[in-house]
Amino acid sequence: MSFSTPNNKRETHPYKADCTKCFGLCCVALPFAESADFAFTKLAGTPCHNLQENFLCAIHEELREKGFRGCTVYECFGAGQKVSQITYNGIDWRNNPLSAAEMFQVLPIMQQLHEMLYYLAEALALKDTTPIHSQLQEAFNETERHTLLEPQVLLAFDIPAHRDIVNSLLLEASRLVRSTASLSLPKQQKRAKTPAIKSDMISAKLKGANLCGANLRGVFLIAADLRGADMRKTDMIGADLRDANLHGADFSDSLFLTQAQVNSANGDGQTKLPPALTIPHHWLKR
């Protein structure tokens, strides 16, 4: 399994989940409560009823229909297979029960490291971030090095401190990219006023809005109307898109958008996504 630094093609992203190489860790390690997102309650460390002997989900293709929408918006960024195949050398928690509790504790730490790698990889692939490529590469290498630590060392690692270092670089990468946003806009769109950005934009009416180059980090866009909005070069880290209407919106060159965010929203075949992301099945069933 290769987890190398990406080349200059933005669509090359090794930090994606590969359930066929994972021990179903998210289906065991993580808890969930009966709600609109989950059909029943499950405790941490307890296998989901739908987890099969081969560690694959029995209802993977019907998760939303069966009441497990929450599963469709979880993203491990490839941490599951890293923990399964590299950290624990392919020995699963069923065959080595003594390692199970530790393995389940390691998963969320590895998930955070891989999430950082996902964003760093994207930043490295962008031409606009050339001025800080050396710093980004150093952070990428250091983060990757930590994913290879022994479990006990990994559990003691100061994730918040490392995230602060990475986040400062991602903020600068975002600034560099967004500062060039106006250069690609047609004259009529340059004159269009960008809506005021607030942390709470739940149910906001943003149909056709010019959000090109906006900073939407951590913004609540739950059930927002973003139909036909221009989202190019918009920083999307942590933005909550649950049930947002993305029909016809242009995210083709947006920053730091993840598949989980896309899966949580509603869109259609006219919604433009970055090359590394795919249109969710439920968009096409509408």
pLDDT tens string 140-197: 999 999 999 999 999 999 999 999 999 999 999 999 999 999 766 565 555 556 788 9
Query: What pLDDT score was predicted for residue 126?
Result: 95
pLDDT of residue 82: 97
Q: What is the mean pLDDT of the chain?
A: 92
The predicted pLDDT at position 190 comes to 53
The residue assigned the tokens 């047609």 is 186
Report how far apart the first and last C-alpha atoms of the chain are (Å, whole number): 37
pLDDT above 70 covers a percentage of the chain that reads 91
What φ, ψ does residue 87 adopt, rounded to 5°?
-60, -40
Averaged over 88-97, what is the pLDDT? 95
CA distance linking residue 64 with residue 37, whole number of Å: 8
**Structural domains present in the chain:** 194-286 (2.160.20.80)
Strand partners, 250: 230, 272
Q: What is the pLDDT of residues 46-57, one digit of tens each?
A: 999 999 999 999
pLDDT, position 211: 95
**What's the whole-number mean pLDDT along residues 251-255?**
96
**What average pLDDT does this structure show over 55-78?**
94
Banded model confidence at residue 284, pLDDT cuts 50, 70, 90 = confident
Q: Residue 221 — left, alpha, or beta (φ > 0 → left; ψ -120 to 50 → alpha)?
A: alpha
pLDDT tier, 10 (very low <50, low <70, confident <90, very high otherwise): very low
Residue 243: per-residue pLDDT: 96
Residue 235 confidence (pLDDT): 98
Could you tell me if residue 283 is left (phi over 0), alpha (psi between -120 and 50 degrees) or otherwise beta? alpha
Structure tokens at 256: 């730091």
Alpha-carbon gap, residue 265 to 281, rounded angstroms: 12
Distance CA 145, CA 253 (A): 29
Query: Mean pLDDT over residues 39-65, rounded?
Result: 95
More confident residue, 124 or 282: 124
Give the residue ranges of DSSP H helices in 73-211. 79-82, 100-124, 133-147, 151-155, 159-178, 187-190
Whether the per-residue pLDDT at 30 is higher than 80: the answer is yes
Q: What is the mean pLDDT of residues 79-96?
A: 96
CA gap 35, 261 in Å, rounded: 19
Mean pLDDT of 228-236: 96
Please tell me the predicted confidence (pLDDT) of residue 49: 95
pLDDT score recorded for residue 14: 76
pLDDT at 286 over 80: no
Residue of higher predicted confidence among 10 and 273: 273
Q: For residue 118, name the pLDDT band (cuts at 50, 70, 90).
A: very high
268: buried, middle or exposed (CB in 10 Å: 19+, 13-18, 0-12)? middle
Predicted pLDDT of residue 205? 97
